[in-house]
Structure formats: structure tokens, C-alpha cells
Amino acid sequence: MKEKEWGKRLEQLREQHGWTKKEVSYKLGFTENTYGNYERQQSSPSLYTLMKIADLYGVTLDYIVFGVYQHGRIPGGKSKKSTEPQKGRN
């Protein structure tokens, strides 16, 4: 199940940004050991901490927990821009 792989996704996101565990821990305000435990899934972050992590990496909570992106989101937090006008909006 994809939700069992959230720790691996944290590691992949960190590596994609070129950051060490120490750098990420500093940015988030906790110890390197704590963040390492999250990547190894030896402990689970609170919802608030998950929100901070998602914000840092520019991804959704859905991506971290389930491995899926919210509609219109791609890795790195960039939004897909539609070139088509949206119906029903003025």
C-alpha cells in the first residue's frame, strides 16, 4: 500500500531538494534524529508537523501520506497552468 511508504517519500523529497537531514531538521525546528525517525517510519509526525513538512517541500499532505497529488499539483509544488478558460467563471 502506498500509504506505508510515506517515510520513503520524505527521503526522496529531501534528496530532490539536495538537502541533508540536518538541513531539513533546522528548517523545521527539530532535531536531525527526529526527522530521521520520520524517514525510517520509526515515529509518526503530528498533523501539524506533516503540514510544515508538506509546505517546506511544496507538496500536499495527500502526496506525503498516500503518494497522490491533489488536482493540478506536480512535484516541487508547482501548479499546472491550464490554457483553457474555466467554464462558469467570469
Give the tens place of pLDDT for each residue, 2-13: 557 899 999 999
CA 14, 18, 23, 28 torsion-angle sign = negative
Query: d(Cα 66, Cα 16) in Å, to the nearest integer?
Result: 18
Whether the pLDDT of residue 47 is over 60: the answer is yes
Residue pair 80/74 in contact (Cβ under 8 Å)? The answer is yes
Alpha helices, DSSP H only, in the chain? 6-16, 21-28, 32-39, 47-57, 61-66
Query: d(Cα 6, Cα 36) in Å, to the nearest integer?
Result: 13
Does a structural domain hold residue 84? no
What's the pLDDT band for 90 if we cut at 50, 70, 90? very low
Does a structural domain hold residue 49? yes
Does a structural domain hold residue 80? no
Q: Give me the CATH number covering residue 19.
A: 1.10.260.40
